[in-house]
Amino acid sequence: MNVDSIIFEICIIIVGSAILGTLFLYAKQPIIIAYILIGIAIGPYGFGLIKKTGHIEQISHFGVILLLFLIGLNLQPVKLLKLFRKVSLLTLSTSLVFGLLSFVFSISIGFNLIDSIIVGSAMMFSSTVVSLKLLPTTSLHNRHIGEMMTSILVIQDVLAILIILFIQGERGDNVLITFIILALKFIVVLLLAFLGVKFIVIPLLTKFDMVQEYTFVVTLAWCLLFAEGAYILGLSYEMGAFVAGLSIASFKVAEAIAEHLKPLREFFLILFFFAIGSKLNLDIDIYILLSALLFGIILVPVKAFIYKYAFHKSGESKDLSKRLGVRLGQSSEFSLLVTFSAISIGLISTNAAMFIQITTIITFIISTYWVVKKYPNPIADNSKLRQD
């Protein structure tokens, strides 16, 4: 048996996820946690059934790209532009607060200045995957929450790219110029997407609308074309996919496309959560482990409270502000990307890197439980809360 083959690895991930997921559902627990635990159990730091997860991580990234594409499909461009103006200052200010709090905590537990700065930078963001994965879009109320969350997450995406570029030294001497260049590239991608949809994609889909396979392959190609194009331009795959979805959102075909792509998205997101769990190495200094557990437990309610306060001050109702705060209360997959960028050039210690990774996973778990048990979501065990 070739245990190093990708077929074996995907088989064991999916079978293991199905078995543990079944047990979790019987126990009325969030199934996402089962996917993470499978990663911990059979990954390189667990039983070692899968020793190298780099290629699985790359494949799983496809699920994140699809998620952002589907989110874009469900948003109206004009309304989103208005929301960007509304939440820009809120996003920048809350990100700064989260970064400062994380920096202070890192200093207090003994990390040096550079490690603490990287920890602060990594903890500024919320998870696109976790927050949007747990958001139903079946009502106008939840759709408005989704629009608000997506606006914030896209701005955070840009901030994360700036930080990664700064760490890696690419145009790091002038952050303002870097930001302007990224903004111009984003505008170019946006214009190309909307013009392409109007003059190429929609005419083709209209002409061959009776062939469902064609609709599927063309829209998937459109998503991946802009994901790769955005990445080549120095943006991110997620940003390109989001723009591709947004460019189609104004047309009636968007809803049908979203339904066709959901199963594909779910498959790759299972691999994504597996990859997150597989990174967790608990064989570290017990002080760092306990500090990360403590900070993860503290960070989720603190972020939820700060977001709630900020949203309410921006004009949202108390109830909506609270829901937004809870849904955005975790750290981000970008926390891990910032960490890996710092590790690749030797800028951060191993202990600080593991602190970020463990804290991030703990916030994923706590945030998921909080949302699944209290608010409408697609994976709730309570039928009254289960919405997709």
pLDDT confidence of residue 385: 77
Give the integer Cα–Cα distance in Å for 330 and 250: 31
pLDDT confidence of residue 1: 47
* For residue 349, pLDDT beyond 80: yes
* For residue 170, pLDDT beyond 60: no
Question: 60-374: what fold?
Answer: Na+/H+ antiporter like fold (1.20.1530)
Instruction: Note the pLDDT tens digit of each residue in 266-321.
Output: 888 888 888 888 877 777 889 999 999 999 999 999 999 999 999 998 888 899 99
pTM across the whole model:
0.82
Structure tokens at 248: 């189609």
* For residue 6, pLDDT beyond 70: yes
Using CA atoms, how far residue 278 sits from 12, 39, 88, 373, in Å, is: 13, 4, 34, 25
Bridge partners, 377 (sequence order): 386
Q: Minimal CA–CA distance to 192: which of 160, 146, 232? A: 232
Task: Kindly list the domain boundaries of the chain, sorted by start residue.
Answer: 60-374
Instruction: Note the pLDDT tens digit of each residue in 102-152.
Output: 999 999 999 999 999 999 999 999 988 888 888 876 554 557 788 888 888
Structure tokens at 62: 């496809």
Give the integer Cα–Cα distance in Å for 14 and 16: 5
- In contact, 132 and 148? CB cutoff 8 Å: no
More confident residue, 209 or 93: 93
Give the integer Cα–Cα distance in Å for 125 and 123: 6
Give the integer Cα–Cα distance in Å for 96 and 117: 12
Count of other CB atoms within 10 angstroms of residue 44: 15
Average confidence score pLDDT of the chain: 84
Most distant CA atoms of the chain, gap in Å: 64
Give the integer Cα–Cα distance in Å for 301 and 366: 9
Range 227-249 average pLDDT: 87
Range 161-178 average pLDDT: 67
Confidence of residue 175 (pLDDT cuts 50, 70, 90): low
Confidence of residue 169 (pLDDT cuts 50, 70, 90): low
- In contact, 338 and 168? CB cutoff 8 Å: no
pLDDT confidence of residue 57: 75
pLDDT confidence of residue 142: 58
